[in-house]
């Protein structure tokens, strides 16, 4: 099997310090959490940013400030900005980080229930996001919460709006979307075409169950505060690094080597 790419989703847009005091808001805190994850073995940092009071933002300047600061501490890490932003943001807000021309960024591939809200990604929006990413030379990570989103992603490919090799992130366990069982993960992976790469993300208590299945199946994994705040039941993780360390130990038990950033670039077709 290929070495395991670990992505650390260090902050998200929904979690708060009231839930876990280590959730980062400021640039200094974001750098601290990115470095903790990188030092523990993460090759990719999935990045949301906040204002200092914790308010989610897609402001291009704030993203640049965070990316530049992370790169000082982790020069070779892959930074994967979110274009999902936060529920209710406009298309124009969400797309701002693309103008910084990152190597790779998230592209959500459909609308779904998201807790008590609706995460809106219409077909027109998905196509527009894909066109802008292609224009800026940004590889999309195709975020799929349901099987229909895989189909939407493949339509983009057939229309020439995204280029291969394709990379998917299968997100399971969001309240209101697809559940996070091994059966569900197998079904989603079997729905992918050949010659693609994929990562799996489990939400909350399902984070490491999904990670274990993905590691065994030859996929890659995402962990971090965006998805889960606990190291184990009732034990808050002190850092994103602690979650990455747990993932590295799990991979070791299952005889998967850990990808460094240059390994990850090769595997993902970024170089």
pLDDT in tens, 30-62: 999 999 999 999 999 999 999 999 999 999 999
Q: What's the rounded mean pLDDT across residues 204-213?
A: 98
Q: What percent of the chain has pLDDT over 90?
A: 99
* Residue range 104-157, pLDDT digits in tens: 999 999 999 998 899 999 999 999 999 999 999 999 999 999 999 999 999 999
Mean pLDDT of the region 183-212: 98
Average per-residue pLDDT for the chain: 97
User: What pLDDT digit, counting tens, does each position of 60-101 carry?
Assistant: 999 999 999 999 999 999 999 999 999 999 999 999 999 999
Main-chain phi, psi angles of 231, to 5 degrees: -75, -40
As given in the structure block, the two tokens for residue 173 are: 């366990």
Identify the CA nearest to 149 among candidates 125, 116, 182, 175: 125
For residues 94 and 25, give the distance between their C-alpha atoms in angstroms, rounded to a whole number: 18
For the segment 229-266, what is each residue's pLDDT rounded down to a tens digit? 999 999 999 999 999 999 999 999 999 999 999 999 99
What are the pLDDT digits (tens) for 2-28? 999 999 999 999 999 999 999 999 999
Q: Which of 201, 169, 173, 175 is nearest to 118 (CA)?
A: 175
CB distance 198 to 170 below 8 Å = yes
Domains and CATH numbers, the chain: 6-268 (3.20.20.70)
Backbone angles phi, psi at 266, to 5 degrees: -65, -45
Angle at 7 between CA 113 and CA 175, to 5 degrees: 15
DSSP 229: -
Q: Is the pTM of this model over 0.85?
A: yes
pLDDT-derived band at 271, boundaries 50, 70, 90: confident
pLDDT (0 to 100) of residue 136: 98
Burial class (CB in 10 A: 0-12, 13-18, 19+), 127: middle
């Amino acid at each position: 099997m290929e070495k395991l790419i670990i992505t650390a989703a260090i902050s998200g847009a929904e979690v708060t310090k009231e839930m876990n005091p280590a959730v980062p808001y400021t640039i200094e805190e974001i750098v601290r959490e990115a470095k903790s994850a990188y030092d523990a073995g993460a090759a990719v940092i999935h990045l949301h940013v906040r204002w200092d009071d914790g308010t989610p933002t897609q402001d291009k300047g704030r993203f640049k400030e965070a990316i530049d600061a992370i790169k000082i501490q982790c020069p070779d890490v892959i930074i994967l900005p979110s274009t999902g932003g936060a529920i209710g943001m406009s298309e124009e807000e969400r797309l701002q980080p693309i103008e910084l021309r990152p190597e790779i960024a998230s592209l959500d591939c459909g609308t779904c229930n998201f807790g008590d809200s609706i995460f809106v990604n219409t077909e027109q929006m998905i196509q527009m996001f894909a066109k802008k990413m292609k224009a800026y030379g940004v590889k999309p990570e195709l975020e799929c919460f349901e099987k229909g989103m895989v189909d939407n992603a493949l339509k983009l490919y057939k229309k020439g709006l995204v280029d291969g090799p394709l990379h998917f992130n299968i997100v399971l366990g969001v309240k209101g979307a697809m559940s996070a069982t091994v059966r569900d993960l197998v079904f989603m992976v079997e729905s992918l075409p050949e010659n693609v790469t994929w990562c799996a993300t489990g939400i909350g208590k399902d984070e490491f169950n999904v990670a274990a299945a993905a590691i065994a199946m030859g996929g890659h994994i995402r962990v971090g505060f965006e998805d889960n705040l606990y190291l184990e039941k009732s034990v808050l993780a002190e850092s994103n690094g602690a979650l990455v360390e747990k993932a590295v130990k799990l991979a070791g038990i299952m005889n998967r080597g850990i990808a460094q950033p240059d390994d990850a670039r090769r595997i993902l077709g970024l170089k």
